[in-house]
DNA sequence: CCCGGTAGTTGAATCGTTTCAACAACCGAC
DNA sequence: GTCGGTTGTTGAAACGATTCAACTACCGGG
């Protein structure tokens, strides 16, 4: 019935082993030469008592919390966060393997987003941050750079700032997807993209442009619809594309998010067409339900667990004061081919 | 370029305000009567210096971390966690409003699940836990009960153990859903359920039984298929139901999870039937894509943000040593009616 | 035989708070 | 004028670890 944590302190271990508390500390941290006999006695005493050093006391003295902060936005109902589960799990797993933990906190995307970060720094609760859903000129990044506080981002910001990040290579991903459509024989390929203001959207769109350029196919401006990240917008975009005259109308469409791809497929159904047979559709994200849609959606799967692992490992190296061998890491997504992408009229 | 947290300590504030550190502490915590003049001087000094008390030092002395631990399982790819995002956000938000934070960690569902919990207790990193995805005779609950450490669960365990929890009332939810189907004129209603070993599954199934009993409709055993929580299993279950002779075949089916409901709808498509027209389908969870399926899926939405809020508030009261007015809270899910549930032949 | 260096160990200072015990100053009551 | 009680303030002792400086023993080299 010990309400509060262990009553066993380093002093108890020292007493039992018949040594000073300094010796116990040295043994446990292997931070000084200790004779084999003493070492064994200390370890035995610690084990028998079930001793675990207090994280608070250690942190106070050593000026570290062995904790990493992570914050994410709350999204409106259908802008859900399909990957938080795996991302967070992967980060927690990696951190724990190195004796660290993850503290999750909230921040307001508008207003002063860095305030929550500042608070955690000043109270000494965290040794570093993981950022995600970064945007161009992200104020949190500017703040952390100014302060010189360790952090690693999942996502890029702009070309001027020099900071460590890991990102999924949306450009390469979409390029792969479009090349897949080209290989199936498609020549008129549409793109449902985000507004130009979205950095991630620009990278993904660039992949579309690259693939068509490599294939010597000029991009018909009518093939590109820029709209917001909702199912309704994706649906409307597809209706716009369908309204093109038959000889200009795309036979395949790549949507830069699954949510918009779902909208596109629903628009096809409304028009009495079958995705994957009449018009091919490809998405991006590979959300869990993608495989159960009718037809199952071809999509790009982000290596999200890998991102979580890399991001934490980089941050830990940074905290240890090491130079990072790679400060900017791009990981390719994997194209998962399903029935929504078929040949031009197959 | 302060790498580590604030260099400003309580001593700096005391010096600037011309008082002792004890006085500063009393002012900031309002834990002793202090004259208005001194109070003002201290607050001014603290504000000018941007002072924030060290969480580590405070925690060490006060024997508390103001941190709550939360752990969840990693699931296989299509057993995803549709609600982690909102649940965690809601918990973090509520905790922060009371000066607490959430520490996320991993534990192995098999082996010794309590080990990760024990470690956090012994190192004094957390003041209490939130548990989710509890199962019958959950070993973590048994461990925490034995130890007398504060925790609140999202989910129930068994009737013998007395511990505080919040849960979604699956029984009432499914009952509402079936009553909705009855009101539409359905009389032969099937149920795709989980194995009897699942506690949550038993509650949801009971709601189905209740509704039919209240309507004086005897349950035909052939209407009930118990199977696992996958799309493939849901699909197979629906094919089984469809193979019944027309006069016994259900005109509506309630699946106790959306994933199985998706499988059921896909089975209907495979059989050339239209969900919501030929056979009504209802799910449970209201996953984000439910609204975009064809047809959109009627489902039960869990008040997940409310659960997160309640769970944290209860835990904080427990940590303060208060008696809980309600130790067992059941929140009803809300039926979201969409096109997948139509009249018998409408 | 003396000296320098290393291995092994320890006492004590320190990290930045909270909080106890002590005390001064003042007030009103008798 | 003395006494008891409150109000306001402070010095110092914790909390439980890390780590510096100091010390002892011992060994080998000159």
Does A331 contact strand D, using a CB cutoff of 7 Å? no
- Measured CA to CA, the distance from residue A110 to residue B225 in angstroms comes to 49
- Residues in A closer than 8 angstroms to B125, CB to CB, are 55-56, 101
Q: From the list A63, A102, A288, which residue is nearest B104 (CB)?
A: A102
Note whether residue B289 is domain-resident. Answer: yes
pLDDT in the model for residue B167? 96
Q: Give residues with Cβ within 8 angstroms of A163, minimum separation 6.
A: A141, A144, A145, A151, A153, A157, A327
Note whether residue B58 is domain-resident. Answer: no
Both B77 and B153 in one domain: the answer is: yes
Both A82 and A179 in one domain: the answer is: no
- Residues in B closer than 8 angstroms to A57, CB to CB, are 60
Both A297 and A217 in one domain: the answer is: yes
Give the closest residue to A25 by CA, choosing from A36, A39, A35, A37: A39
pLDDT in the model for residue B78? 57
Subunit contact B84:A88, Cβ cutoff 8 A: yes
pLDDT in tens, B227-244: 999 999 999 999 999 999
Both B182 and B298 in one domain: the answer is: yes
Subunit contact A2:B148, Cβ cutoff 8 A: yes
- Residues in A closer than 8 angstroms to B63, CB to CB, are 4-5
For A244, A280, A282, the CA distances from A181, given in Å and listed in that order, are 20, 8, 9
Please tell me which residue of chain B has the smallest CA distance to A78: B288
Both A43 and A139 in one domain: the answer is: no
Both A197 and A295 in one domain: the answer is: yes
Q: What is the mean pLDDT of chain B?
A: 93
Residues 160-199 of B with CB under 8 A from A: none
Enumerate the β-bridge partners of residue B67: B101
Both B186 and B213 in one domain: the answer is: yes
Cβ atoms A67, B59 nearer than 8 A:
no
Note whether residue A235 is domain-resident. Answer: yes
pLDDT in tens, A98-145: 999 999 999 988 889 999 999 999 999 999 999 998 888 899 999 999
Please tell me which residue of chain A has the smallest CA distance to B74: A89
Indicate the pLDDT class of residue B343, thresholds 50, 70 and 90: low
Q: Give the number of other CB atoms < 10 A from CB of residue B145.
A: 14
Query: What is the DSSP code (8-state) at residue B288?
Result: G
Residues 29-88 of B with CB under 8 A from A: 50, 52-57, 59-60, 63, 65, 67, 72, 74-75, 77-78, 80-82, 84-86, 88
Note whether residue A26 is domain-resident. Answer: yes
Q: Lowest mean pLDDT: which of A70-74, A323-327, B11-15?
A: A70-74
Both A240 and A266 in one domain: the answer is: yes
- Residues in A closer than 8 angstroms to B292, CB to CB, are 231, 259, 262-263, 266
Note whether residue B191 is domain-resident. Answer: yes
Both A148 and A183 in one domain: the answer is: no
Note whether residue A5 is domain-resident. Answer: no
Subunit contact B3:A102, Cβ cutoff 8 A: no
Please report how the helices B36-49 and B21-29 are oriented relative to each other, as an axis angle in degrees rounded to 10: 90
Both B85 and B154 in one domain: the answer is: yes
Q: Please provide residue A19's backbone torsions phi and psi, each rounded to the nearest 5 degrees.
A: -135, 180
Indicate the pLDDT class of residue A269, thresholds 50, 70 and 90: very high
How far is the first Cα of chain B from the last one, in angstroms, to the nearest whole number? Answer: 70
Both A23 and A78 in one domain: the answer is: no
CA of A55 to C1' of D20 (A): 22
Q: Which domain holds residue A180?
A: 170-303+334-341
CA of B166 to C1' of D17 (A): 38
Q: Indicate which CATH number applies to the domain containing B179.
A: 3.40.50.2300
Interface contacts A/B by beta carbons within 8 Å:
163
Please tell me which residue of chain B has the smallest CA distance to A63: B4
Q: Give the number of other CB atoms < 10 A from CB of residue A4.
A: 11
**Is the confidence at residue A71, as pLDDT, over 70?**
yes
Percent pLDDT > 90 in chain B is 88
Query: Strand runs (DSSP E) across chain B, as ranges?
Result: 67-71, 101-105, 128-132, 151-154, 165-168, 189-193, 224-226, 252-255, 280-282, 299-301, 328-331, 334-336
Both B242 and B289 in one domain: the answer is: yes
- Measured CA to CA, the distance from residue B241 to residue B223 in angstroms comes to 7
Which residue has its C-alpha nearest to nucleotide C16's C1'?
Answer: B57
For A84, A119, A142, A157, A307, the CA distances from A138, given in Å and listed in that order, are 20, 18, 7, 6, 20
Indicate the pLDDT class of residue B25, thresholds 50, 70 and 90: very high
Q: Which residue has the tokens 């024989």?
A: A185
Does A2 contact strand D, using a CB cutoff of 7 Å? no
Please report how the helices B55-62 and A55-62 are oriented relative to each other, as an axis angle in degrees rounded to 10: 140
pLDDT in the model for residue A136? 87
Note whether residue A4 is domain-resident. Answer: no
Our count of domains for chain A comes to 3
Please tell me which residue of chain A has the smallest CA distance to B103: A103
**Is the confidence at residue B327, as pLDDT, over 80?**
yes
pLDDT in tens, A212-263: 999 999 999 999 999 999 999 999 999 999 999 999 999 999 999 999 999 9
- Measured CA to CA, the distance from residue A191 to residue A197 in angstroms comes to 16
Note whether residue A81 is domain-resident. Answer: yes
Subunit contact A101:B105, Cβ cutoff 8 A: yes
């Amino acid at each position: 019935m010990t309400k509060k944590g262990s009553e066993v302190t380093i002093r108890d271990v020292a007493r039992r082993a018949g040594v000073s508390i300094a010796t116990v500390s040295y043994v446990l941290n292997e931070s000084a030469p200790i004779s084999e006999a003493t070492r064994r006695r200390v370890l035995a005493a610690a084990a028998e008592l079930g001793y675990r050093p207090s994280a608070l006391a250690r942190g106070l003295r050593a000026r570290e919390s062995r904790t990493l902060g992570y914050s994410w936005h709350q999204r409106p109902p259908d802008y859900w966060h399909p990957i938080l589960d795996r991302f967070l799990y992967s980060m927690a797993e990696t951190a724990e393997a190195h004796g660290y933990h993850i503290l999750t906190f909230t921040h307001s995307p508008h207003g002063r987003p860095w305030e929550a970060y500042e608070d955690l720094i000043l109270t000494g609760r965290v040794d570093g941050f993981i950022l995600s859903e970064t945007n161009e000129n992200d104020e949190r990044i500017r703040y952390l750079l100014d302060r010189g506080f360790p952090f690693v981002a999942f996502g890029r910001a702009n070309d001027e700032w020099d900071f460590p990040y890991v990102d999924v290579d949306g450009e390469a991903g979409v390029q792969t997807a479009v090349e897949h459509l080209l290989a199936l024989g498609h020549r008129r390929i549409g793109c449902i993209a985000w507004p130009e203001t979205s950095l991630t959207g620009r990278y993904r769109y660039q992949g579309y442009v690259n693939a068509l350029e490599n294939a010597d196919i000029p991009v018909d401006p009518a093939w590109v619809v820029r709209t917001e990240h909702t199912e309704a917008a994706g649906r409307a975009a597809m209706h716009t594309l369908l309204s093109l005259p038959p000889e200009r109308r795309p036979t395949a469409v790549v949507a830069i998010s699954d949510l918009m791809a779902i909208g596109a497929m629903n628009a096809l159904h409304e028009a009495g067409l079958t995705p994957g047979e009449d018009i091919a559709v490809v998405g991006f994200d590979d959300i869990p339900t993608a495989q159960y849609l009718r037809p199952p959606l071809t999509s790009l799967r982000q290596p999200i667990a890998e991102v979580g692992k890399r991001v934490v490992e980089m941050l830990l190296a940074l905290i240890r004061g090491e130079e990072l061998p790679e400060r900017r890491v791009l990981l390719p997504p994997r194209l998962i081919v399903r029935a929504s992408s078929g040949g031009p009229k197959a």
